[in-house]
Amino acid sequence: MDTLFLMRAFVSVAETGSFTAAALRLDLTTSYISRAVSSLEDHLRTRLLHRTTRRIALTEAGKRYLARCEQILEYIEEAEAEASQAHALPAGNLKLHAMTGIGHRYLIKAISEYSEKYPDVSFDLTLANRTIDLIEEGFDVSVIAARQLPDSGYISKHLGQVYSVLCASPAYIARYGLPETPADLNRHRCLRLVYSIMSLDKWVLNGPAGRQEEVSISHTHFQVNTVDAMTEALKLGMGIGALPLYSAYESLKDGSLVRVFPEFTLYPLNVYALYPSRQYLDAKIKTWIDFLRDYLPQQLSRDEYGLIDCSHPA
């Protein structure tokens, strides 16, 4: 007895609502499908369908068995597809989400380099500073920075760690002076970045040898919810503010911003790639994840070491 075929026949009847429709789907006769379902019921010693001259309906046992059959058949289809495509080249469209700063700083270049190796993969990139529902919104992969992973059933790959730094413009420092200790920040214009991965009312400065300082920024004359706007405000000399390293890097390198307390960092965050399932990965998703696991840690380290000399001159 071919149990898998009997399962397929039963699932087809349950999904289409009739033996005739199931027979058309499977390119078999109605009588053959009817006998197959009867054979399955005999094998299980359980009635799966209520039959009348006008309709069929699942029994309670049939409903439970249908759920199991659908799961088993889905696993088999995934295994067959994975085996048949194991050596296939990645191709098709990859729908990708990333947090805005990470996308600007790292992922666009990553996509360019990946595409040199896999030219048959196209990208649909959405940049947004929020967590997303991968399945509901139809994304293949999401790259996020977070203290910890959101509560979900997604598969994650840790790609590295990022942090924020305190910045100000040379003009602001020339006018108001350079704070000598974190406590001095209470006498300065502290600008507040308000969005999902930033604290609302204080800076927690992490220094060498585990040293930690807290500075209240609950009273400020300026706050904003995007990194780009905060960067512009800092360049205009409006005050001292925290920027993610990947967003501050170019401004620090070209001197339009300088680091305040270069020995301190803020908001350590982990960078993750999230995707819906590990049971079966399309070749383009697998190769993209593998590429990021090599590429992104190198880029994060490069930026971190590239800023060693980007401190305000004494």
- Residue-wise pLDDT for 133-180, tens only, equals 888 899 999 999 988 876 777 888 999 999 999 999 999 999 999 999
The predicted pLDDT at position 201 comes to 77
Closest CA to 98 of 118, 119, 127: 127
The predicted pLDDT at position 86 comes to 47
Beta-bridge partners for 143: 98, 273
Instruction: Tell me 183's DSSP state.
Output: G
Flag whether pLDDT at 68 surpasses 80.
Answer: yes
Which three-class secondary structure state does DSSP give residue 13?
helix
C-alpha neighbours within 13 Å on the C-beta side of residue 231: 17
Q: Which two tokens stand for residue 309?
A: 């000399």
Instruction: Write phi, then psi, for 263 (nearest 5 degrees).
Output: -80, -5
Instruction: Write phi, then psi, for 260 (nearest 5 degrees).
Output: -105, 130
Flag whether pLDDT at 197 surpasses 70.
Answer: no
Helix axes 30-44, 3-16, angle to 10 degrees: 110
- Spans of all domains in the chain: 3-84, 92-158+271-301, 162-269
Q: Give the tens place of pLDDT for each residue, 107-117.
A: 999 999 999 99
- Does CATH number 3.40.50.1370 belong to domain 3-84? no
The predicted pLDDT at position 312 comes to 45
What's the pTM?
0.67
How much of the chain exceeds pLDDT 70, in percent? 92
Assign domain 92-158+271-301 to its CATH architecture: 3-Layer(aba) Sandwich (3.40)
Is there a contact between 228 and 135 (Cβ–Cβ < 8 Å)? no
CA distances from 41 to 18, 22, 57, 62, 65 (A): 17, 17, 14, 10, 11
> What is the DSSP pairing of strand 190-193 with strand 223-224?
parallel
The predicted pLDDT at position 173 comes to 95
* Lowest-pLDDT choice from 42-46, 75-79, 127-131, 305-309: 305-309
Is there a contact between 94 and 284 (Cβ–Cβ < 8 Å)? yes
Flag whether pLDDT at 44 surpasses 70.
Answer: yes
Closest CA to 275 of 142, 110, 138: 142
Name the average pLDDT for the chain. Answer: 88
Flag whether pLDDT at 279 surpasses 70.
Answer: no
Q: CB 297: neighbour CB atoms within 10 A? A: 15
The predicted pLDDT at position 309 comes to 57
Are both 92-158+271-301 and 162-269 of the same fold?
Answer: yes
Flag whether pLDDT at 118 surpasses 60.
Answer: yes
Q: Give the tens place of pLDDT for each residue, 93-106.
A: 999 999 999 999 99
> What secondary structure does DSSP assign to 205-258, as a single string?
EE-GGG-EEEEE-SS-S-EES-HHHHHHHHHTT--EEEEEHHHHHHHHHHTSSE
Higher pLDDT, 1 or 118: 118
Mean pLDDT value of segment 172-190:
92
Mean pLDDT value of segment 42-54:
87
- Class in CATH terms, 162-269: alpha beta
